[in-house]
Chain A
Amino acid sequence: MDLDFTVEDDLFREEARDWLNENVPTEPRPQQGLAMREFDLAWQRRQYDGGWAGVSWPKEYGGRGLSLTHQLIWYEEYARAGAPNAQLLFVGCNHAAPTLMSKGSEEQKAYHLPKILRGEVAWCQGFSEPDNGSDLAGLRTRALIDGDHLVVNGSKIWTSNAHLADWQELLVRTDPLAPRHKGISWVICDMNTPGIELRPILIMTQPGHHHFNQVFYNDVRIPLANVVGEINDGWNVAMSTLGFERGTAGMSEQITYGVLLEKLIDMARERFGDAAIEHDEIGQRLAQLRADHAAVRAMIYMVVSRSYAGAPGSEASLTRAFFSQLQQRTRRIALDILGADSLEMPSEDPWIRPYLRSFSTTIAAGTSEIQRNIIGERVLGLPR
């Protein structure tokens, strides 16, 4: 048991800190639309040019090939520097790329990985359907083989940023007669293919906020060469992605939240004074949050420690389940500190929109209920 970083780690940290101090964008990140896309892609390109995109990506794919410890150090410094959370690129960098690295063909990797890393493209995810959300394996979007193409018909929903994405990781049913988990394929879908139509879905944070979409596929032709892994083996391919999402991919945001909580404590001290903080219910709740965020950091360190002994296991789902609820409680307390002012939603608003948005944290990427099923079955060995 040890918390010491090596001299080499410390040098890496210093290098990261210096670069971030000089390069983190000072202008606020646009909340939606093409402006947000341009912002996120430009920031990714800047990181790439500085040699900081893909710290733990293998060198053969353009990364630095460093350890998960280096990745952790980078995220810690990233959070400390207040660098923006480029959410638009999350699916590309944290889903599509690791999936392609582990299951993609040489051609797929050579074409897509550099574009993702250099900030040239944005990806979206096509998993959930109107009738199949948590019950993902029941998905019904059909794909029939026609020559060297798949012809896709059906619909996906809750597709974040489909209107801003170039590519989509798409799950389709290629064998309707096979058992549920056996007839699914994972394909790369070009979002500019004819036959794709989008219906914007507005979200609850503020009037007119367009974040996700329903996507319709009408005879959409996708080359068979875009199937990742074997045809009809898409469930296994998808699970490798989700395992990653539930493991280390959230690390950066988890670290950012610890910094955010200290801001909230300072804000509460300013508003109420030290004495009130130490004796009021709000101080008790802030203390609990402090302990919880300390635990998240310790849990991340434990995930990294376990990675030395093997790939992130299902224990990482414990960290994610803990953190997704903690995000909501952290966002919620901001409103109690603001009091009556919490009804105001100014245009530069660091608290209210993120609070409303935090309701997605226990839904997206597997609801808290699905997370608990996974923990119950895969970590604790309870029967299905």
Chain B
Amino acid sequence: MNLLPTPEQTQIIDAARSFLAGEAPVERLRPQHGQIGNRDARLWGDLAELGFLSLGLPEHQGGVGLGPCEETLLYREFGRHLISPGVLGLTLGARLAARAEDAALLEAVGAGSVRIGIANPRGPVSLGPESEGEFHLIEAREAAWAIAWSTDGAGLFRTGEFSAVSDVLCMDSHLTLERARLEVVSPVIWAPAEEDAIGDRALVLVAAYAVGLAEAARDMAVAYAKIREQFGKPIGSFQAIKHKCADMAILAEAAWCQTAFAAVALAKGRGDARFHATAAKLLATDAALKNAAQNIQVHGAYGFTADADAHLFLKRAHVMDILAGDLRAQKAALIREPAAT
């Protein structure tokens, strides 16, 4: 038993950190504040080349042959850098393509030349070999594909098969958001959860991303509290601020430990994997939301501006909360699960 990354896993983290620090600093989102749409798709080619879009696929299908643990470590870094959640469409979509042995789509993901958006339910929907309901399409405007999933399974749809598509301004204005409908459509690829627990995997990866948000917000607040002076002292010396920062550290630690535990549970196919994945999603989005809010408060009026990055973490935390079911939905799901073993 050891929840720390192995030396090989640490290499993956280091490679991801070094790439993202150079190519995707959070500041990239600053000058275009107010823009609709995200330029992160320009990163997909490089991320694909580094193997980051197919970490969890078998090698004979062009993947790296690793699993949920490595993906989890990677998504934590994605969260810290506010990478477009379109990347989740690619990671999960590639699993469906691999399952259906769709060589063309696999190759396109492997080359980073395709976009796969996310179709997230706006309420109760029916997902399966025949799917219908109202959805939000996230980061799908220029995508040929969109993936939708639940704990029952996951389906890949052509975006052209959605009807009544209309643009809406996303609260997280770097992301594209559309309302769209499926009127009894069969997904091009459908994978039931018994064959590949894509829904549980999505919970863990969203949790890992949210942990990255929670940690980045904590670090930003702590760094500011060390340099901002009032009453002749750094504000971090005041307990009112110090204790907020400590609470942010506690929430981030709890969320990360549970997410790491859930990733291993999923990798090992434990019977309580869904329990742990749900708990991780719940704790991590809660930590991301709370830490993002506290980070704004620690920054004072500056935190309320578009110039500070603080608002970016708050808005992305809300997106992560809504993806795959919000806190309320996760709690309802968790209390239905049998106790963990």
Whether B38 is near chain A, meaning CB under 8 Å from some CB there, is: no
| Stretch in A21-29, A334-342, A376-384 touching the partner | A376-384
Provide the A339-379 mask, 1 if CB < 8 A to any CB of B, else 0: 00000000000000000000000000000010111011101
Q: Which residues of A contact B249 (CB under 8 A)?
A: 318, 375, 379-380
What is the CB-to-nearest-CB distance from B234 to chain A, in angstroms, rounded to a whole number? 5
Q: Which residues of A contact B268 (CB under 8 A)?
A: 3-4
Q: Which residues of A contact B5 (CB under 8 A)?
A: 1
Q: Are A382 and B1 in contact (CB under 8 A)?
A: no
| Stretch in B55-63, B141-149, B153-161, B240-248 touching the partner | B240-248
What is the CB-to-nearest-CB distance from A279 to chain B, in angstroms, rounded to a whole number? 7
Whether A291 is near chain B, meaning CB under 8 Å from some CB there, is: yes
Q: Which residues of A contact B257 (CB under 8 A)?
A: 295, 298-299, 301-302
How many cross-chain pairs have Cβ atoms below 8 Å apart between A and B?
Answer: 161
Provide the A286-327 mask, 1 if CB < 8 A to any CB of B, else 0: 111011101111110110111011000001001101100000
Known contacts: A305-B1, A305-B3. The answer to whether A298 contacts B335 by CB under 8 A is no
Q: In the complex, what distance in Å separates the CA atom of A278 from the CA atom of B333?
A: 8
Known contacts: A1-B264, A372-B247, A375-B249. The answer to whether A287 contacts B1 by CB under 8 A is no
Whether B225 is near chain A, meaning CB under 8 Å from some CB there, is: yes
Q: In the complex, what distance in Å separates the CA atom of A360 from the CA atom of B234?
A: 32
What is the interface of chain B mostly: helix, strand, loop, or mixed?
Answer: helix
Q: In the complex, what distance in Å separates the CA atom of A301 from the CA atom of B262?
A: 12
Q: Which of A277, A294, A375 is B340 in contact with, Cβ under 8 Å?
A: A294
Known contacts: A1-B263, A298-B3. The answer to whether A372 contacts B246 by CB under 8 A is yes
Q: Which residues of A contact B330 (CB under 8 A)?
A: 287
Q: Are A287 and B264 in contact (CB under 8 A)?
A: no
**Chain B residue with the shortest CB-CB distance to A1:** B69
Q: Which residues of A contact B332 (CB under 8 A)?
A: 278-279, 283-284, 287
Interface residue tally on A, bucketed by range? 35 or more
Q: Are A382 and B258 in contact (CB under 8 A)?
A: no
Q: Are B236 and A383 in contact (CB under 8 A)?
A: yes
Q: Are A380 and B245 in contact (CB under 8 A)?
A: yes
Q: Which of B1, B243, B265, B335 has the most CB of A within 10 A?
A: B335
Q: In the complex, what distance in Å separates the CA atom of A369 from the CA atom of B328?
A: 30
Q: Are B246 and A375 in contact (CB under 8 A)?
A: yes
Q: Which residues of B contact A321 (CB under 8 A)?
A: 246, 250
> Chain B: residues with CB nearer than 8 A to chain A?
1-6, 9, 69, 73, 222, 225-226, 233-234, 236-237, 239, 241-243, 245-247, 249-250, 253-255, 257-258, 260-261, 263-265, 267-268, 270, 275-276, 278-279, 282-283, 328, 330-332, 334-336, 339-340
7 residue pairs A–B, Cβ–Cβ below 8 Å: A279-B332, A297-B261, A301-B3, A305-B2, A322-B250, A382-B237, A384-B237
Q: Are B264 and A315 in contact (CB under 8 A)?
A: no
Q: Are A304 and B1 in contact (CB under 8 A)?
A: yes
What is the interface of chain A mostly: helix, strand, loop, or mixed?
Answer: helix
Q: In the complex, what distance in Å separates the CA atom of A382 from the CA atom of B214?
A: 18
Whether A265 is near chain B, meaning CB under 8 Å from some CB there, is: yes
What is the CB-to-nearest-CB distance from A295 to chain B, in angstroms, rounded to a whole number? 4
Q: Which residues of A contact B241 (CB under 8 A)?
A: 382
Whether A135 is near chain B, meaning CB under 8 Å from some CB there, is: no
Q: Are A288 and B1 in contact (CB under 8 A)?
A: no
Q: Are B225 and A382 in contact (CB under 8 A)?
A: yes
Q: In the complex, what distance in Å separates the CA atom of A103 from the CA atom of B245?
A: 34
Known contacts: A298-B3, A298-B260, A318-B249. The answer to whether A291 contacts B334 by CB under 8 A is yes
Known contacts: A1-B4, A309-B4, A321-B246. The answer to whether A381 contacts B261 by CB under 8 A is no
Q: Are B250 and A301 in contact (CB under 8 A)?
A: no
Q: Are A380 and B222 in contact (CB under 8 A)?
A: yes
Whether A14 is near chain B, meaning CB under 8 Å from some CB there, is: no
Q: In the complex, what distance in Å separates the CA atom of A304 from the CA atom of B268?
A: 20
Q: Are B226 and A383 in contact (CB under 8 A)?
A: yes
What is the CB-to-nearest-CB distance from B328 to chain A, in angstroms, rounded to a whole number? 7
What is the CB-to-nearest-CB distance from B35 to chain A, in angstroms, rounded to a whole number? 34
Q: In the complex, what distance in Å separates the CA atom of A341 from the CA atom of B6?
A: 51
Q: Which residues of A contact B234 (CB under 8 A)?
A: 382-383
Q: Which residues of B contact A379 (CB under 8 A)?
A: 246, 249
Q: Which residues of B contact A308 (CB under 8 A)?
A: 2, 4
Provide the A67-97 mask, 1 if CB < 8 A to any CB of B, else 0: 0010010000000000000000000000000
Q: Are A382 and B255 in contact (CB under 8 A)?
A: no
Task: Given contact pairs A292-B254, A301-B261, enumerate 19 new A-B contacts (beta carbons under 8 Å).
Answer: A1-B6, A265-B335, A284-B335, A291-B282, A292-B283, A295-B279, A298-B3, A298-B254, A298-B257, A305-B2, A305-B3, A319-B253, A373-B242, A373-B243, A373-B246, A376-B236, A379-B249, A381-B226, A382-B237
Q: Which residues of A contact B69 (CB under 8 A)?
A: 1
Q: In the complex, what distance in Å separates the CA atom of A72 from the CA atom of B3?
A: 14
